[in-house]
Amino acid sequence: MKPTYFLMIPALIFFCLLPCRLQAGEPDYALLQKKMTAEQIVGRGITDQRLLTAFEKVKRHLFVKPSLRAHAYDDSPLDIGEGQSISEPYIVAVMTAAVAPTPGKKVLEIGTGSGYHAAILAELVKNVYTIELIEKLGKDAQTLLDSLGYKNIHFKIGDGYKGWEQYAPYDGIIVTCSEDHIPEPLIKQLAVGGRLIIPVRYSSKVQELIMIEKEEDGELKKTYLIPAQFVPLIRGNEER
């Protein structure tokens, strides 16, 4: 009895077509994203399922330069132009977890940058207000996030040091660039019970990620989280 080779043809055709889903030389971003979440975030003790789901949903490679996309899920910061960078995934996760995001909260982000952190926050809270001093970065991030369908992110080009008083108070404030002190305007715009996450710079080499909690009596509780290294907060002469 002769073997029925024709039965294998559909399977062979299907198998041969599978590689066509990825362009030649293009990384498997979905696999890299899952590996990033498992190793860099869960592997370092962050296990909140809502937060992990956000990191598995937001495609980090869309927020970096095309030439750096193969490294988008690496455990390192990446250059996004204009002298700025996107923080490594673990740092984004630590800051996000520290602000205690829940669906009804309103969060202010100082330093839109690539827009990646704003997207993560938008998956977890009701509204995100984000400020960027460098107009090109702010506009590019808005264009990308709008194209991805985010409706709960609000953008402003201006001096992040001053915050965004119009929509204060905020349940959480995240500062994605370092300062040598805690900006007073941000403290004033923080709601009672809210949390302010900011990298404080003690020298050119020493920074600490700090959480400030505003208590019922107005007192501020300071908690040191982890050592960090962020680009400095840039001040503007006037809002644009």
Read off the pLDDT band of 135 (50, 70, 90): very high
Identify the active-site residue in 67, 76, 85, 87. Answer: 87
Quick check: 191 pLDDT over 70? Answer: yes
Residue 14 has pLDDT above 50, yes or no: no
Q: Residue 152 class from Cβ within 10 Å (0-12 exposed, 13-18 middle, 19+ buried)?
A: middle
Is 114 marked active-site?
A: no
Does the pLDDT value for residue 21 go beyond 80?
A: no
pLDDT score for 237 = 63
Residue 210: name the closest of 98, 126, 106 by CA. Answer: 98
| Mean local confidence (pLDDT), 29-37 | 97
Is residue 23 pLDDT above 70, yes or no? Answer: no
Residue 205 has pLDDT above 70, yes or no: yes
Q: Is 84 helix (H, G, I), strand (E, B) or coil?
A: strand
| Helix and strand element counts for the chain (H, E) | 7, 9
In this prediction, residues 102-114 reach a mean pLDDT of: 97
- Coil, helix or strand for 160? helix
- Please give the span between the terminal C-alpha atoms of the chain, in angstroms, as a whole number: 82
Work out the average pLDDT over 67-84.
Answer: 95
- State how far the Cα of 208 lies from the Cα of 202, in Å rounded to an integer: 8
**Domains of the chain, with CATH numbers?**
80-227 (3.40.50.150)
* CA–CA gap between residue 148 and residue 202 (Å, rounded): 38
pTM of structure: 0.87
Q: Which residues pair with 178 in a beta bridge?
A: 232
Confidence at residue 7, expressed as pLDDT on a 0 to 100 scale: 37
